[in-house]
Amino acid sequence: MSDERCNSGSGGILLAFLAGGLVGAGLALLYAPVSGREARERIGGLAGDLKKKTEEWTGDVKQKVEGFIDEERSVIKAAYDAGREAMAREKARLENPNPQ
């Protein structure tokens, strides 16, 4: 249980770290001794990079979630099938206690 909390929390920590770095980089660009036009171009480039990285990250997360769901679905289906088979065997055993 604690492993699940650690794994889910690490993504939030990483995202917060990246967001803080990007905010810091944006502030550095605003306070850098460059013209307004050059600062806007840099910020636009930074925003484009951020958008690209965010799309990649969300794509990775989506693939991981879909993989997890597929694995869990197969485990649940296997357990369901095993339960049905066990129930059928017990039903047959109770209906015919002496198979001779």
Q: pTM higher than 0.85, yes or no?
A: no
Q: At what angle do helices 2-31 and 36-95 cross, to 10 degrees?
A: 170
Angstrom distance (rounded) from CA 23 to CA 81: 52
pLDDT tens for each residue of 63-81: 888 989 999 999 999 999 9
Kindly indicate the confidence band of residue 5, based on its pLDDT and cuts at 50, 70 and 90: very low
Query: pLDDT: is 79 or 8 the higher one?
Result: 79
Sign of the CA dihedral running 86, 92, 98, 100: negative
